[in-house]
Amino acid sequence: EPQKSTVTITGAAGQIGYALLFRIASGAMLGPTTRVRLRLLEIPAAVHAAEGTALELDDCAFPLLDSIDVTDRAEEAFDGADVALLVGARPRAAGMERADLLAANGSIFGPQGRAINDHAADDIRVLVVGNPANTNALIAAAHAPDVPAERFTAMTRLDHNRGLAQLAAKLGCRTSEIDGLTIWGNHSATQYPDITHATAGGQPIASLVEQEWVEQEFIPRVARRGTEIIEARGASSAASAASAAIDQVHDWVLGGDASWTSAGVVSDGSYGVPKGLVSSFPVRSIEGGWEIVPGLEVPEFSKVRIEASVKELEQERESVRTLGLI
């Protein structure tokens, strides 16, 4: 008897959604033996476009795709969901204040958290992609008191993958040979891509590259890669974001190959990150749950950078508290 999984995608008619749906339906996310029911959530104005994507999904004749439903009602979209990818978010418009952005997203992620609480499967796994992802995950989790907080995560896997790609290019090796990279903190320009424990083919990367390269090129390039892509493509990254979302859910459900990866998870107080913040950590998937890798040494160079990003997360949490969103 094959397994079945209900996967809900919000913002399904967007750029990331378009790059995401076909790969999920092909089995890239949940493996070649799990059948998938897709539920696409959109705002009313974009439902028609999502229905168009559903027609194309039909036309792929994917053997694993059981059904596709399109709706603008969150209760319907999350009904029985095992996996939820929260992609749709309110983008920052020119001249928009940060508080307005957080408020706009609060009105999206609060009700979605509530709908997940009331309608999703007990073992729901939520990955927030829409920005500001960490704080949107915090808002959604706050509205889902019956769902364990560790079921809500934010995507920093794209930052992680960007880091792997930069290191592999620098060292002339394959990304699969690199292990022990960590993204800490917020999915923003303050994030800290950390090579302290990273190895390439078993050799410490810190002994293979100049510290100056790490500080002047690697860290800023990974942290600002989104802007680099926009400048080159004339549009935000979409396929790489979708690919990272698939990687993150794949490893969460099925386990990964590396010693650890990076994900935004609810802090248990590890590494001095205040409890309850959704921050990126080194994590490994154990029996279908993320565990923060314990006991890593954190040198001073790392400590200050982690603290700076965590401070930004605390400020975001303070803002959404003030706005009454959590």
Binding stretches for ligand NDP (CB under 6 A): 10-11, 13-17, 41-43, 46, 87-91, 108, 129-131, 133, 158, 226, 236-238, 241
Q: Which residues pair with 127 in a beta bridge?
A: 85, 153
52 annotated ligand-binding residue: no
- Measured distance CA(292)–CA(306) in Å, rounded: 15
What's the DSSP call for residue 39? E
Output 241 or 313, the one with its CB closest to ligand NDP: 241
Q: List alpha helices for 143-195, DSSP H.
A: 157-171
**What strands, in cross-sheet order, belong to the sheet with 178-179?**
178-179, 199-200, 203-204
Pairing mode, strands 192-194 and 182-184: antiparallel
Output 21 or 283, the one with its CB closest to ligand NDP: 21
Output 131 or 199, the one with its CB closest to ligand NDP: 131
In the complex, minimum distance from the CB of residue 2 to ligand NDP, in angstroms, rounded to a whole number: 29
In the complex, minimum distance from the CB of residue 130 to ligand NDP, in angstroms, rounded to a whole number: 4
| Entry field: residues in the chain | 326
Contact 108, 88 (CB under 8 A): yes
- 250 tagged catalytic: no
201 annotated ligand-binding residue: no
Q: Which residues contact 240 (CB under 8 A, 6 or more apart)?
A: 158, 161, 162, 229
The label of the residue with tokens 């154990």 reads: 286
In the complex, minimum distance from the CB of residue 94 to ligand NDP, in angstroms, rounded to a whole number: 13
147 annotated ligand-binding residue: no
In sign, the C-alpha dihedral spanning 115, 120, 122, 126 is negative
283 annotated ligand-binding residue: no
Consecutive H or E run containing 114: helix 98-119
Write down the catalytic residue from 143, 160, 187, 197: 187
13 annotated ligand-binding residue: yes
- Measured distance CA(26)–CA(65) in Å, rounded: 7
CA angle 204, 210, 215 (to 5 degrees): 105
Output 73 or 174, the one with its CB closest to ligand NDP: 73
Residue type, 253: V
In the complex, minimum distance from the CB of residue 76 to ligand NDP, in angstroms, rounded to a whole number: 12
12 annotated ligand-binding residue: yes
Output 90 or 197, the one with its CB closest to ligand NDP: 90
Consecutive H or E run containing 277: none
In the complex, minimum distance from the CB of residue 18 to ligand NDP, in angstroms, rounded to a whole number: 8
Output 240 or 302, the one with its CB closest to ligand NDP: 240
- Give the nearest residue (CB) to ligand NDP: 14
36 annotated ligand-binding residue: no
In the complex, minimum distance from the CB of residue 264 to ligand NDP, in angstroms, rounded to a whole number: 11
Helix-, strand-, coil-residue percentages of the chain, each rounded to 5: 45, 20, 35
Q: Report, as residue numbers or ranges, the catalytic residues.
A: 187
Binding-site residues for substrate sit at 92, 98, 131, 162
Please state the residue numbers annotated as binding site.
11-17, 92, 98, 105, 112, 129-131, 162
